[in-house]
Structure 1
């Protein structure tokens, strides 16, 4: 921020004290040398204001700049105005609450694909070379989401997303391609084998053999249970003995997934670490991970999710997981190594 004229004058007067030859100058406020200081301070102030404005106008539009502008989008606020070298929303007369409520974009991630990642030495291109430039290289990808009921959610009001796209089209750099998406959270299904302390976590003894059979067969509930022979597990399995409302493993998984930043990576090791810290858990094993983008239920009611267990980490396509559709299957096994045969 440019200094004021008074600040510049004070700095010149302070510097004057360092020169003994200037000590004999009269201290009269109307002295000619004070007039020259005022003229110089004014000239320097004008110069700094020009530099400041040029710096603002010529600010490089980095990926972080696009993210900053997206989070500053106001829906329903009067049209953009050109002010001080950039487009801005005029929020005059609005309360802080009204301004905050108009910011519908609560989460945003911006990325791009550089040419180096496309041109892989020794690998034959799978697409026409020009397609890389038209569809990938030189495109700024913007993922956005809002918050509903304290959960990350896609912007599903058509006009809101349309208005946001128009806003970005107006402020973006000329010639840049921008691809904007706001999708429903990815589907995630997890299967875990968890050895628990039977003194802390409840497990019905009659269900232990069933859990062990699922582990040994590498099958899921859907694979074993049939409509003709359903097996009903005790719904309290996995709860704390001291509090039947608490399910340490499931709670740890949900808390971990909620805390993954928008467009952040799901890391298998981090999830296992989170479950390991849960009360009563001895050995957590993440046996299977399945995930995929959300689909239209009318098109595919039971989508077949790709198995990504062998991948250590990945980023959900939508930037987040839909926790309402989260499917977690846990096989609880008592940790009784001290009674095993040596």
Structure 2
């Protein structure tokens, strides 16, 4: 770990003070030439130690993430998938010969990925999603077929993989917002700035959730209570519905008790028709 500049400088000055041949360098002025030299050298040593620390951290991270066969490795490999590109023979790397960085980056269509080991069956569950106009979207049939073939090429022998590429789980919130009449009107619009800050905060919270992360009802309520003009917030019911790949339809809405993880890895808010504003 990099030492503080002051500590390095003190060590240098202590060595100077203990050296009889340098006894003439005894000024206590902060702008004494030898003290300024000591400070410059101390800063240089500190900067070099910081570089060494960062290098070690990068190496440790690379070693940790490149342990083949771990869930983290499968996640990194999924995010590295390049749609339309072929693999180098006998390799898990893509052949990028003749392509520039923009083309390579554009081919990486998987923007979100989560890999977990199933507790019910001996397999890895890989959830993926792409992104379009700042919204999470599933891969289309051609893309998911290509990605699945890629996984079959790189996976370890005997490893069973289940890919989840569902449309967003639907979220329906039945809420009562107790408003400050000086700040919000009866429709939840900001009197001063326009727009609907409660709806904006809900969208912001959903956007901040990690992919395949938990939606915690109390966390959402806490966020809403911090909105200007909101005195209190009460979620009467929160229900969700997921896309059933067997029936190709969404399931019936079911209650969310305390928290939940979306099957698709992410949510889509149905609408805000069930949000009412009261005094």
TM over 0.5: yes
User: What is aligned with 1:239?
Assistant: 189
Q: Secondary structure at the match of 2:109?
A: coil
CA distance in 1, matches of 2:213, 2:227: 23
CA contact (8 A) 2:199 2:272 kept: no
Superposed CA RMSD: 2.3
Paired residues for 1:128-207 under 5 Å:
136-156=120-140, 158-203=141-186
User: What is aligned with 1:109?
Assistant: 114
1:268 deviates by 0.5
Encode CA deviations 1:244-290: one digit per residue, 9 max, x unaligned: 3x111111111111111110110101111111111101111111101
Paired residues for 1:76-87 under 5 Å:
76-82=84-90, 86-87=91-92
1:326 deviates by 4.0
1:312 deviates by 1.1
User: What is aligned with 2:239?
Assistant: 290
CA distance in 2, matches of 1:315, 1:92: 40
CA contact (8 A) 2:212 2:261 kept: yes
CA distance in 1, matches of 2:275, 2:207: 19
Change (3 A) 1:295 1:173: closer
Q: Secondary structure at the match of 1:331?
A: strand
TM-score by length of 2: 0.71
User: What is aligned with 1:95?
Assistant: 100
Change (3 A) 1:189 1:96: same
User: What is aligned with 2:253?
Assistant: 305
* Larger Rg belongs to: 1
Which blocks of at least 5 consecutive residues in structure 2 are unaligned?
A: 1-62
Q: Secondary structure at the match of 1:258?
A: helix
CA contact (8 A) 2:114 2:126 kept: yes
1:182 deviates by 0.4
Encode CA deviations 1:63-119: one digit per residue, 9 max, x unaligned: 00000000000011133333xxx42112122111101100011111101134xxxxx
**Counterpart check, 1:266 vs 2:215:** yes
Q: Secondary structure at the match of 1:286?
A: strand
Query: Where do 4+ consecutive residues of structure 1 move more than 4 Å?
Result: 298-301
Q: Secondary structure at the match of 1:88?
A: coil
CA contact (8 A) 1:201 1:239 kept: yes
Encode CA deviations 1:133-175: one digit per residue, 9 max, x unaligned: xxx432011011100121000002x121111101101110101
CA contact (8 A) 2:179 2:231 kept: yes
CA distance in 2, matches of 1:262, 1:90: 29
TM-score by length of 1: 0.59
